[in-house]
Amino acid sequence: MSVSGMKKQLHKASQLLNERLMGAEGTKLDEDFLKMEKSVTVIHILLAELLSKTTEFLQPNPAYRAKLSMLNTVSRIRGQGRATGYPQTEGMLGDCMLLYGQELGAASEFGGALSGVGEALQQVAQARDSLDVNVKRTFIDPMQDLHNSELKDIRYQLKKVNGRRLDFDYKRRRRGKVPTEELRQAWDKFVTSKELAERSMFTLLQNDVDQLGRLATLVTALLDFHRSAHRILQGLHGNLQARLTAASNKPERRFRSRKIRVRSDHSSSIGFYHQPSSVSSGEQFTVLPSRPGSPISCYADSKLVLDQPCCRAMYSFLPNHEGELGFNEGDVIVLTGRVDANWYEGTLGDRTGLFPVSYVDVLVPLPLP
């Protein structure tokens, strides 16, 4: 800074101290100018707050925002493409449901429903990613440009107006010691700066159409997202209702502990039993409690195996014709043959007859012919 420039700054500081501490009266700006200046200040604060809150609305987790900002900065420095996008909460919940739905498998109604909900939530997350992109492009970026360019210029002009006013008031206070021409030049500079700042503020405050248009694009982007989310969730709701109806109409299955025919390592004899262990005619038998998913598991010390073809009843069957074998859910039936693709022949206790294939779960299959 030159000596003359430093002296000018000292004169401005002296005038400001006189006004603040000594009560000296400076040149008054007109009421319209002050109103516009106040409005511009409000808009400046508003834009800073609005940009911050909009970003928080789209990306509520500050830790993820900071990480994403860092990754994007590193990617730009390295000349790479855009880094991974913000992890949407719907997507994280959908990934969790999809993972465990696949673990439970398609045979589980709950697992299938979990997978369906997970896929739908992933679609909602994709719609929210599109919302982020649209809002940034049509609302955040234009508002950021307004904040960083036009408003920044206006604030610089207002600062210059205040500086030139202080310079003029200082020279006016020292009238007689300052040449008249120098005082007139200070006044002209002050008036020119004021008119330039006034014109810029007027243009900004009268340009409501652009600001309304940006608000409209924000609302449109939100509306598009909620329409997409509504469509996705509406389809998911119908799918879940269908699953619920189908599950409710399935025959009720009840757990019933049943005896199983087994052979001991100590004897080739076969029998049905419920007691923990017994010895009869030199033959040793051991209890084999049934358990869902492990019909041939044995918890006894002796190793027992199913020794002949058999099956377990998944549903109760009431015979409609002579020659059919009736049974209850959970009964274990010895298979003696297969009539065709739809009917087995088997024995339950002292009864023998035919029964449908779809009603049983084969534990030990029939030997191939």
Q: What is the pLDDT of residues 72-92, one digit of tens each?
A: 676 666 666 555 678 899 999
282 compared with 331, residue with greater pLDDT: 331
CA distance 349 to 334: 9
CA distance 65 to 53: 13
Q: pLDDT tens digits, residue range 107-150? A: 788 998 999 999 999 999 999 999 999 999 999 999 999 999 99
For position 299, what pLDDT does the model report?
A: 33
Q: pLDDT tens digits, residue range 304-316? A: 346 788 999 999 9
Structure-token pair, residue 286: 């051991």
CA distance 207 to 202: 9
CATH class of 310-364: mainly beta
51 compared with 24, residue with greater pLDDT: 51
For position 180, what pLDDT does the model report?
A: 87
179 compared with 139, residue with greater pLDDT: 139
pTM above 0.85, yes or no: no
**CATH 2.30.30.40 residue window(s) in the chain:** 310-364
For position 67, what pLDDT does the model report?
A: 78
Question: Burial, 228: exposed, middle or buried (Cβ in 10 Å; 0-12, 13-18, 19+)?
Answer: middle
Residue 274 has pLDDT above 70, yes or no: no
93 compared with 172, residue with greater pLDDT: 93
| Cα 3–chain centre separation | 61
Percent of the chain with pLDDT over 90: 51
For position 292, what pLDDT does the model report?
A: 44
For position 297, what pLDDT does the model report?
A: 37
Q: What is the mean pLDDT of residues 7-22?
A: 78
Q: What is the mean pLDDT of residues 208-218?
A: 93
Round the CA-based radius of gyration of the chain to a whole number and report it: 43
| Cα 163–chain centre separation | 52
CA distance 41 to 205: 11
Q: Which of 68-82, 189-203, 336-350 has the lowest mean pLDDT?
A: 68-82
Residue recorded with tokens 């298979």: 335
pLDDT tier for residue 273 given thresholds of 50, 70 and 90: very low
- Residue 279, helix vs strand vs coil: strand
pLDDT tier for residue 270 given thresholds of 50, 70 and 90: very low
Q: What is the mean pLDDT of residues 55-81?
A: 77
From residue 246, alpha-carbon distances to 232, 251, 308, 361 in Å are: 21, 10, 36, 21
Q: pLDDT tens digits, residue range 124-136? A: 999 999 999 999 9
Residue 243 has pLDDT above 50, yes or no: yes
Residue 174 has pLDDT above 90, yes or no: no
Q: What mean pLDDT value characterizes the chain?
A: 82
Residue 300 has pLDDT above 80, yes or no: no
For position 107, what pLDDT does the model report?
A: 79
> For 275, what's the count of Cα atoms within 13 Å in the CB-facing half-sphere?
7
CA distance 324 to 98: 44
Q: What is the mean pLDDT of residues 339-366?
A: 91
Task: Please state which CATH number belongs to domain 3-74+84-248.
Answer: 1.20.1270.60
Q: What is the mean pLDDT of residues 158-184?
A: 88
Q: Provide the angle, in degrees to the nearest 10, between the axes of the packed helices 151-173 and 3-21.
A: 80
CA distance 56 to 50: 10
Percent of the chain with pLDDT over 70: 80
**CATH 1.20.1270.60 residue window(s) in the chain:** 3-74+84-248
Check: CB of residue 346 under 8 Å from CB of residue 335: yes
pLDDT tier for residue 32 given thresholds of 50, 70 and 90: very high
